[in-house]
Amino acid sequence: MDGGRTEALTEMFGLSRSISACVLLSVAAVCATPAFGDETVDLRIYNDTADEIVVTLYDMNATPPEPVLVHQIIDGFAWVPASVTPGIEGDGHVRWIAETTGTSFHRCGHRERRGLTSDSMVRVFTDSRCVAGGP
């Protein structure tokens, strides 16, 4: 323990030497703790098309995998927030399905993304013809 820092805390806050040492140890422990155990990975689900689309997003780290967004309408070039469960390494894993809302030129899309960190942007789009029975 650095005696100079303990003395400075003692003088500054009028704390006893043992309390000052405890405060310093507590602050050091909090600052040195890695960011494990985050409860969610916060994502931005971005509609990368000009068309309004309907998106269903699955959290693949949940046991069992569960939907996070269900038939969420996202306007063209807009995004919506979503939170998913972090995996063992602290990253998100999602699967999404999207389709256009209009009846003409009906398009679909689907993908799976791994290794997502908080504030990641997940691009969703409709780049293929829809097949009976879905993706």
Written as six digits, the tokens of 64 are: 């069992």
The overall pTM is greater than 0.75:
no
Structural domains counted in the chain: 2
Both 87 and 124 in one domain: the answer is yes
Question: 52 near 75, Cβ under 8 Å?
Answer: yes
The average pLDDT across 65-72 equals 98
Q: Where are the alpha helices (DSSP H) in the chain?
A: 3-13, 17-32
CA-to-CA distance for 7 and 26, rounded, in angstroms?
16
The average pLDDT across 50-66 equals 97
CA-to-CA distance for 73 and 80, rounded, in angstroms?
9
Confidence grade of residue 32 (pLDDT, cut at 50, 70, 90): very low
* Structural domain range at position 57: 41-129
Give the lowest-confidence range in 17-21, 37-41, 100-104: 17-21
pLDDT exceeds 50 at position 4: yes
Average pLDDT, the chain: 82
CATH number of the domain residue 59 falls in: 2.60.40
Give domain status of residue 74, yes or no: yes
Give domain status of residue 119, yes or no: yes
